[in-house]
Protein backbone atom coordinates (compact mmCIF):
# COMPACT_ATOMS: atom_id res chain seq x y z
CA UNK A 1 0.00 0.00 0.00
CA UNK A 2 2.99 2.32 0.30
CA UNK A 3 3.00 5.12 2.85
CA UNK A 4 0.93 8.26 3.33
CA UNK A 5 1.70 11.54 5.07
CA UNK A 6 -0.92 14.25 5.41
CA UNK A 7 -1.89 17.46 7.14
CA UNK A 8 -5.35 18.84 7.90
CA UNK A 9 -6.45 22.22 9.18
CA UNK A 10 -9.86 23.74 9.88
CA UNK A 11 -10.29 27.44 10.61
CA UNK A 12 -13.42 28.97 12.12
CA UNK A 13 -13.24 32.74 12.09
CA UNK A 14 -15.27 35.92 11.97
CA UNK A 15 -14.02 39.05 10.24
CA UNK A 16 -16.37 41.77 11.47
CA UNK A 17 -16.17 45.53 11.15
CA UNK A 18 -17.74 48.64 9.68
CA UNK A 19 -15.51 48.86 6.57
CA UNK A 20 -13.74 46.25 4.46
CA UNK A 21 -11.05 48.65 3.26
CA UNK A 22 -9.60 52.04 4.07
CA UNK A 23 -11.45 54.78 2.24
CA UNK A 24 -14.81 52.99 2.00
CA UNK A 25 -17.63 55.46 2.52
CA UNK A 26 -20.23 54.15 4.98
CA UNK A 27 -23.88 54.57 4.10
CA UNK A 28 -24.65 56.15 7.46
CA UNK A 29 -21.53 57.86 8.81
CA UNK A 30 -23.41 59.02 11.93
CA UNK A 31 -24.08 55.46 13.08
CA UNK A 32 -21.09 53.14 12.73
CA UNK A 33 -23.12 50.22 14.07
CA UNK A 34 -25.42 50.57 11.06
CA UNK A 35 -22.45 49.54 8.89
CA UNK A 36 -21.15 46.80 11.21
CA UNK A 37 -21.15 43.20 10.04
CA UNK A 38 -19.16 40.56 8.13
CA UNK A 39 -16.43 42.07 5.98
CA UNK A 40 -15.99 41.24 2.31
CA UNK A 41 -13.06 38.90 3.05
CA UNK A 42 -14.87 36.99 5.84
CA UNK A 43 -14.85 33.24 5.17
CA UNK A 44 -16.47 31.66 8.20
CA UNK A 45 -15.15 28.12 7.68
CA UNK A 46 -12.04 27.03 5.81
CA UNK A 47 -10.67 23.48 5.62
CA UNK A 48 -7.34 22.68 3.98
CA UNK A 49 -5.73 19.25 3.73
CA UNK A 50 -2.54 18.11 2.01
CA UNK A 51 -1.31 14.60 1.42
CA UNK A 52 1.57 12.71 -0.14
CA UNK A 53 1.09 9.04 -1.01
CA UNK A 54 4.21 7.07 -1.83
CA UNK A 55 3.04 4.07 -3.82
CA UNK A 56 4.84 0.71 -3.40
CA UNK A 57 8.12 0.03 -5.20
CA UNK A 58 6.88 -3.42 -6.28
CA UNK A 59 10.25 -5.00 -5.62
CA UNK A 60 8.83 -8.51 -6.08
CA UNK A 61 7.67 -7.76 -9.63
CA UNK A 62 9.77 -8.24 -12.75
CA UNK A 63 12.11 -5.43 -13.67
CA UNK A 64 9.96 -3.99 -16.49
CA UNK A 65 6.74 -3.85 -14.46
CA UNK A 66 8.61 -2.56 -11.41
CA UNK A 67 10.21 0.30 -13.31
CA UNK A 68 6.96 1.30 -15.04
CA UNK A 69 4.37 0.79 -12.31
CA UNK A 70 6.30 1.05 -9.06
CA UNK A 71 7.39 3.97 -6.89
CA UNK A 72 4.89 6.59 -8.11
CA UNK A 73 4.11 9.54 -5.87
CA UNK A 74 0.61 11.04 -5.57
CA UNK A 75 0.26 14.50 -4.00
CA UNK A 76 -2.86 16.51 -3.37
CA UNK A 77 -4.34 19.64 -1.84
CA UNK A 78 -7.99 19.84 -0.77
CA UNK A 79 -9.54 23.21 0.02
CA UNK A 80 -13.12 23.71 1.19
CA UNK A 81 -14.48 27.03 2.39
CA UNK A 82 -17.74 28.85 2.88
CA UNK A 83 -18.76 31.81 0.75
CA UNK A 84 -18.48 35.57 0.91
CA UNK A 85 -21.13 37.68 2.65
CA UNK A 86 -23.03 40.32 0.68
CA UNK A 87 -25.40 43.16 1.55
CA UNK A 88 -28.31 43.70 -0.89
CA UNK A 89 -28.82 47.15 -2.37
CA UNK A 90 -31.60 48.77 -4.41
CA UNK A 91 -32.10 51.88 -6.51
CA UNK A 92 -34.35 54.66 -5.23
CA UNK A 93 -35.29 58.09 -6.55
CA UNK A 94 -32.50 59.61 -4.44
CA UNK A 95 -29.85 57.09 -5.45
CA UNK A 96 -28.70 53.59 -4.63
CA UNK A 97 -28.78 52.44 -1.03
CA UNK A 98 -29.09 49.35 1.10
CA UNK A 99 -32.24 47.36 0.41
CA UNK A 100 -34.98 46.60 2.91
CA UNK A 101 -35.21 43.12 4.38
CA UNK A 102 -38.90 42.17 4.32
CA UNK A 103 -38.56 38.98 6.34
CA UNK A 104 -38.57 35.32 5.51
CA UNK A 105 -35.94 33.03 4.08
CA UNK A 106 -32.95 34.83 2.57
CA UNK A 107 -31.73 32.07 0.24
CA UNK A 108 -33.85 29.73 -1.86
CA UNK A 109 -34.11 26.08 -0.87
CA UNK A 110 -33.26 24.87 -4.36
CA UNK A 111 -30.52 27.33 -5.19
CA UNK A 112 -29.16 27.58 -8.73
CA UNK A 113 -26.89 30.08 -10.45
CA UNK A 114 -30.01 31.84 -11.77
CA UNK A 115 -32.00 31.73 -8.55
CA UNK A 116 -29.75 32.05 -5.49
CA UNK A 117 -31.61 34.66 -3.41
CA UNK A 118 -35.26 34.68 -2.35
CA UNK A 119 -36.64 37.68 -4.26
CA UNK A 120 -39.58 38.04 -1.86
CA UNK A 121 -37.25 38.72 1.07
CA UNK A 122 -36.04 42.12 -0.17
CA UNK A 123 -37.27 45.39 -1.60
CA UNK A 124 -36.13 49.01 -2.08
CA UNK A 125 -36.00 51.25 0.96
CA UNK A 126 -38.20 54.37 1.09
CA UNK A 127 -36.59 57.74 0.48
CA UNK A 128 -36.94 58.92 4.06
CA UNK A 129 -34.68 56.33 5.74
CA UNK A 130 -31.84 53.89 5.23
CA UNK A 131 -32.54 50.30 4.27
CA UNK A 132 -32.80 47.83 7.15
CA UNK A 133 -31.05 44.81 5.59
CA UNK A 134 -28.34 43.59 7.99
CA UNK A 135 -24.81 43.85 6.67
CA UNK A 136 -23.71 40.56 5.09
CA UNK A 137 -27.15 38.94 5.27
CA UNK A 138 -26.62 37.04 1.99
CA UNK A 139 -24.03 34.27 1.80
CA UNK A 140 -22.63 33.44 -1.63
CA UNK A 141 -21.59 29.92 -2.70
CA UNK A 142 -18.53 28.39 -1.12
CA UNK A 143 -15.43 26.99 -2.78
CA UNK A 144 -14.31 23.41 -3.40
CA UNK A 145 -10.85 22.88 -4.83
CA UNK A 146 -9.09 19.54 -5.40
CA UNK A 147 -5.59 19.71 -6.86
CA UNK A 148 -3.69 16.51 -7.67
CA UNK A 149 -0.18 15.72 -8.83
CA UNK A 150 1.34 12.38 -9.84
CA UNK A 151 5.06 11.97 -10.37
CA UNK A 152 7.77 9.36 -10.81
CA UNK A 153 11.55 9.34 -11.17
CA UNK A 154 12.89 6.98 -13.83
CA UNK A 155 16.52 5.97 -13.39
CA UNK A 156 18.03 5.82 -16.88
CA UNK A 157 21.66 5.36 -15.95
CA UNK A 158 23.66 5.98 -12.84
CA UNK A 159 24.07 9.66 -13.76
CA UNK A 160 20.71 10.31 -15.39
CA UNK A 161 17.24 10.56 -13.80
CA UNK A 162 14.13 11.47 -15.74
CA UNK A 163 11.24 12.86 -13.72
CA UNK A 164 7.73 12.74 -15.14
CA UNK A 165 5.00 14.76 -13.44
CA UNK A 166 1.38 15.62 -14.23
CA UNK A 167 -0.54 18.26 -12.27
CA UNK A 168 -4.33 18.55 -12.21
CA UNK A 169 -5.75 21.84 -10.94
CA UNK A 170 -9.43 21.55 -10.00
CA UNK A 171 -9.00 17.88 -10.84
CA UNK A 172 -12.70 16.98 -10.58
CA UNK A 173 -13.79 20.06 -12.56
CA UNK A 174 -16.01 21.36 -9.75
CA UNK A 175 -18.01 24.41 -10.80
CA UNK A 176 -17.27 27.16 -8.26
CA UNK A 177 -19.55 30.06 -9.09
CA UNK A 178 -19.02 33.67 -8.05
CA UNK A 179 -20.10 37.17 -9.10
CA UNK A 180 -23.35 37.27 -7.12
CA UNK A 181 -25.61 40.16 -8.17
CA UNK A 182 -27.11 41.79 -5.05
CA UNK A 183 -28.75 44.85 -6.62
CA UNK A 184 -32.47 44.28 -6.16
CA UNK A 185 -33.27 46.78 -8.90
CA UNK A 186 -31.29 44.82 -11.47
CA UNK A 187 -33.15 42.11 -13.37
CA UNK A 188 -30.17 39.83 -12.70
CA UNK A 189 -30.59 40.14 -8.91
CA UNK A 190 -29.77 36.87 -7.19
CA UNK A 191 -27.84 35.38 -10.12
CA UNK A 192 -24.21 34.27 -10.34
CA UNK A 193 -22.43 35.53 -13.43
CA UNK A 194 -18.93 34.03 -13.27
CA UNK A 195 -16.92 31.09 -12.00
CA UNK A 196 -13.44 30.15 -10.90
CA UNK A 197 -11.24 28.39 -13.51
CA UNK A 198 -12.26 24.90 -14.68
CA UNK A 199 -9.93 21.91 -14.62
CA UNK A 200 -6.42 22.60 -15.90
CA UNK A 201 -3.72 20.06 -16.60
CA UNK A 202 0.01 20.44 -17.09
CA UNK A 203 2.70 17.84 -17.78
CA UNK A 204 6.44 18.09 -17.43
CA UNK A 205 9.63 16.10 -17.96
CA UNK A 206 12.85 16.97 -16.17
CA UNK A 207 16.21 15.35 -16.84
CA UNK A 208 18.72 15.48 -14.00
CA UNK A 209 22.36 14.52 -14.34
Phi, psi of 67 (to 5 degrees): -70, -30
Domain count, the chain: 1
For residue 72, give the DSSP letter.
Answer: -
Q: For residue 14, what are the domain limits?
A: 3-208
In order of 54, 74, 120, 206, the CA distances from 150 in angstroms are: 10, 5, 49, 14
DSSP 93-121: TTEEEEPEE-SS-SEEEEEETTEEE-GGG
Question: Per-residue confidence of the chain (209 residues) as pLDDT tens digits?
Answer: 668 899 999 999 999 988 888 767 677 777 888 889 999 899 999 999 999 999 888 878 887 777 777 789 999 999 999 999 999 999 988 888 999 999 999 999 999 999 999 999 999 999 888 999 999 999 999 999 999 999 998 888 778 888 999 999 999 999 999 999 999 999 999 999 999 999 999 999 998 88
Phi, psi of 149 (to 5 degrees): -145, 135
Model confidence pTM above 0.85: no
Amino acid sequence: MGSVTFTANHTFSKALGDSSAQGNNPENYLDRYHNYGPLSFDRRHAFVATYVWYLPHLNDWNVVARNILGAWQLNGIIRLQTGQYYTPTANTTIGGRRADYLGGQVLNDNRTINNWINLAAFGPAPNNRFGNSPVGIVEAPGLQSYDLSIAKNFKIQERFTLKFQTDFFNAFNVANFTGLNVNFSDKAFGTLSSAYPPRNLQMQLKLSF
